[in-house]
Amino acid sequence: MSLWPVSAQQPQATFRSATRLIVQNVVVTDGNGNPIEGLTASDFTVIEDGQPQEIAFVEFQRLTAPQAPQAPQALLVPQAPLAPQAPQIRFRDKRLLVLYFDLSAMPPPDQTRAYTNAQRFIDTQMEPADVMAIMSFNGGAVRLRQDFTDNRAALQEAVLRLMFNDDLDGDGVPDTPDPGTAFGQDDAEFNIFNTDRQLSALQTAVEMLRPLPERKTLIYFASGLRLNGTDNQAQLRATVNAALRANVTLNPIDARGLVAQPPLGDASRPSPGGLGMFTGRLAEAAAGTFQRSQDTLFALAKDTGGRAMFDYNDLALGIAQAADAMTSYYILGYYSANTAADGRFRRVRVSLTGGRQAQLAYREGYYGDKEFARFTAADKERQLEEALMLENPITEITIAMEVNYFQLNRAEYFVPVAVKIPGSELNLARRRGAARTEIDFIGEVKDEYGVTHQNVRDRMNIALSSDAASQLASRPIQYETGFTLLPGRYVIKFLARDATTGRIGTYQSAFTVPNLNREERRLPISSVVLSSQRVPLSDALFSVEQRAADSVNPLVSGGEKLIPSVTRVFSRAREMHVYLQAYERAAATTQPLVAFLSFYRGDEKVFETAPMAITDGMHPQSKAVPVRFSVALGGVPPGQYDCQITVLEPTGQKAAFWRAPVVVIN
């Protein structure tokens, strides 16, 4: 954290510029759960990484009883005259509540329910000790709709502006201008599948609250938060860590309320049909999908000390429960003796002196700052390796990743990995008239027991002409590598670093390599690669030293490489290329196959290609039959779809299906 300024009367105190003021919120309760008051700095002991720390100030925040309004005050540090000031306590003895509306994936009925219950809480349940702020995320940027205030009229007006889309006068024009978007235009394909966007926006909101040293309660209204598309578990962890550093508890409320789902869908959709209606698989899948949409919200609450409320129509009760969970606490500040900007985790232990017995709840550590400009080559290498080991992921660079699998033989699978980075994320340096950028990569693959099976360390050095450099701002950069693995469950963690600025991006995801030899009922197939481009192997932007030989990469054919569309965003002006492998283990020659592609919107089929016959091409060792075809998208309306690939084997009367979300744009 940055140093707070010295007072005007004591300008000579600049010798403490290297200190770091750390603020902790500590809840101290007795055996019955009642807050213990009257403690001072001499009653606390703070140990950071085994070293005692000098406590600068302690301030008690009494939230158990209504308090008369007080003017904001600055706390002076109770120590030597040359000490800097403590941060301002703007809201003494106040409960800070933030209503955060995630409008990016909340349908209008859920928005109305959230707004109505927020208004009811403001009207009837807001306590004298409460001050509230209102924030929203509409898919473009996080906006502060109302700063912290106890003025009910101002809060109600902010909710009304949200409800009527900033158009209270009804003239069809928003009353306040849109401040713009937090994401660049060239990054649009990274923002289509918006799980990362929602978590990143929530992290931005939390960082906006960080300057306030008080404890904050953020009530997060959302219609579920399902991890799908280009999931990034690193972003989830980064959001949680940002909340912990900012002393913010996240309290998600499912704005859908209590949902009673008919097993086969309601009247808004046609009957799904098929055998799944009678086996219960469709009902089970629907219930599982709904449950997964709440799992991430629950994780946000649990990991930050908040509360989640699901399956309840009284959303105002969720706000009240989150507010009631905040009890009286102490704001404790100390200047850390460890000023090294190494990014390491500092473990903190707070206790009471004199052996006094009490229950203490506080943040048990934080991550130090990083400084890249002074790193040596050895320091930079160590930083990248340590960043790979950190529990706290670094998400300064946007990364998307796709992991596929193809069977090489009865035991081994080739797992190609495609990493995509928007070109605007990278810093370009001019060297001898050409634009140049270097990207360092490091990654590892671990199994479910934490054993490392594969790793990668590489550098992508891109030297471009002036014309190509100007295109880099709008052209994503893609890195390809691959591993050979046995069937099993794995976790891949991958880091990319701009070697010029030191900015790092992390991607972490779990994946499974199935044992296709055990597939008896369905036709065994590999994962499916969707692409919009083939590039020569000599293409400058993609020619990287590969760990896996191109000879075993099924995406290489005829001197060209099929580039996976990691974000699965396709233009109507270009063809979509489809590639997969089907495995006919018991066949001596290729058994005919039929494959086709379908686009669904909900349960409605919007588009389907003509069936394509595959009659040859079997590999003699792996028994793999390549399935390649291209689809013209000119007749598909723009929008988001579920893409289904169907492969039929008429001889063996088997079939295989694969589905994934895609987006078609103009």
Average pLDDT over residues 542-546: 43
One-letter amino acid for residue 626 of the chain: P
Tell me the C-alpha to C-alpha distance, in Å, between residue 583 and each of 148, 254, 485, 578, 647: 61, 43, 18, 17, 11
pLDDT at residue 177 greater than cutoff 70:
no
Helices and strands, counts by H and E, the chain: 10, 35
CATH of the domain at 233: 3.40.50.410
Domain assignment present for residue 585? The answer is: no
Interval 35-84: pLDDT, tens? 898 899 999 999 999 999 989 889 888 885 444 444 333 333 333 333 44
Domain assignment present for residue 47? The answer is: no
User: What is this structure's pTM?
Assistant: 0.69
- Predicted confidence band at 2 (pLDDT cuts at 50, 70, 90)? very low
- Predicted confidence band at 465 (pLDDT cuts at 50, 70, 90)? low
Domain assignment present for residue 647? The answer is: no
pLDDT at residue 251 greater than cutoff 60:
yes
What is the distance between the alpha carbons of residues 210 and 438, in angstroms, rounded to a whole number? Answer: 33
For residue 12, give both structure tokens: 């000579």
Domain assignment present for residue 492? The answer is: no
For residue 632, give both structure tokens: 């013209």
- Predicted confidence band at 428 (pLDDT cuts at 50, 70, 90)? low
Domain assignment present for residue 226? The answer is: yes
pLDDT at residue 173 greater than cutoff 60:
no
- Predicted confidence band at 583 (pLDDT cuts at 50, 70, 90)? very high
Determine the angle formed by the axes of helices 195-209 and 233-245, rounding to 10 degrees: 10
Q: What is the pLDDT of residue 435?
A: 59
What is the total count of domains within the chain? 1
Domain assignment present for residue 90? The answer is: no
Domain assignment present for residue 60? The answer is: no
CA angle 332, 336, 342 (to 5 degrees): 130
In percent, the amount of the chain with pLDDT more than 90 equals 32
pLDDT at residue 569 greater than cutoff 60:
yes
Task: Look at residues 94, 101, 157, 160 and name the one whose alpha carbon lies nearest to residue 131.
Answer: 94
Residues 6+ apart with CB under 8 A from 114: 101, 106, 221, 253, 255, 315
pLDDT at residue 546 greater than cutoff 80:
no
Residue 204 is classified by DSSP as H
Interval 287-341: pLDDT, tens? 666 677 788 888 898 888 888 888 788 888 888 888 888 888 898 989 888 887 7
What string of H, E and C letters represents the secondary structure of 634-648? CCCCCEEEEEEEEEE
What is the distance between the alpha carbons of residues 202 and 238, in angstroms, rounded to a whole number? Answer: 10
Domain residues for the domain of 208 are 95-324
Q: What is the pLDDT of residue 141?
A: 75
More confident residue, 438 or 575: 575
Task: Look at residues 153, 158, 136, 151 and name the one whose alpha carbon lies nearest to residue 219.
Answer: 136
